[in-house]
Structure 1
């Protein structure tokens, strides 16, 4: 019998203020890479709660996501796969980030054009694809996510 396929479940959040997007810098395999605040779903945690926790850990900002941008599948290689729930939130103004997670080197506000210039340094193709989807406005209400059967 073959081992069961178990992709990693992750969350990410596109945060926009003043035509800028909050991105985090991390060192992955010796390379500086950029991502939206993101991370893994933890046991008995709702997707929305996971998003809030990851944003707080990686940027120091407390927020509630406003909508779901999309659900993405990605295979980094034959042994590593992800299902990524990307959320979004808008702020009235840029807040100075203060990352709490030691794995985050920095968090900074960048324009879409600046993010495009970093294309080879983006953590995965999902970073740019979800940002393009966000800009094309396919936002879905959080009510489509049901966590009522979690053991909280």
Structure 2
């Protein structure tokens, strides 16, 4: 019997600050309405920065220009169905650009909000994961790594490597 190869779910998230407020989404989940930074899964062929830009537009209709990596976070989750999942999340910070052309937000996104750090602390029980506050606290503490800290190297038949 062939054993399935284990791999973590790779996700990205954006910390977007404007005038002391942070862009977050309110999304419908299996546990009800939750608050999260714009975030989602890395798709095949994407770099991490391409993924965070795409996810921010899809979930908020705001363009996002990544300026630094805030941190990389590993989280193990025991699901209600008894299966475990591991998430490897890369959180970036950057500046918002003018709103992207109007379009439908990703499925499950109810609305976007601009909340202060204190407002986010006051609603911790509604956060999608503990990483929402952890990555915001790291951002507020000044944690920043240059974007070239994360390298993307493509391997394929065209370059023979």
Partner of 1:124: 129
- Of residues 23-32 and 42-51 in structure 1, the stretch that sits farther from structure 2 once superposed is 23-32
Query: Secondary structure at 2:14's aligned position in 1?
Result: strand
Larger radius of gyration: 2
Q: What displacement does 1:30 show?
A: 4.4
Unaligned 5+ segments in structure 2 are 157-161
Query: Secondary structure at 1:65's aligned position in 2?
Result: strand
Q: CA RMSD in A?
A: 2.2
C-alpha change, 1:19 and 1:135, in structure 2 (3 Å) is same
1:55 aligns with 2:56: yes
**Contact residue 25 and residue 35 of structure 2 kept, 8 A:** yes
Q: 1:1-150 to 2 correspondence within 5 Å?
A: 3-77=4-78, 79-91=84-96, 100-149=105-154
**Contact residue 63 and residue 96 of structure 2 kept, 8 A:** no
Query: Secondary structure at 1:45's aligned position in 2?
Result: coil
C-alpha change, 1:32 and 1:118, in structure 2 (3 Å) is same
The answer to which structure has the higher strand fraction is: 2
| Number of matched pairs | 150
Question: After TM superposition, what 4+ stretches of structure 1 lie above 6 angstroms from structure 2?
Answer: none
Q: What displacement does 1:2 show?
A: 5.3
TM normalised by structure 1 equals 0.90
- Of residues 21-30 and 11-20 in structure 1, the stretch that sits farther from structure 2 once superposed is 21-30
Partner of 2:159: none
TM normalised by structure 2 equals 0.85
Unaligned 5+ segments in structure 1 are none
Distance in 2 (CA, whole Å) between partners of 1:2 and 1:141 is 38
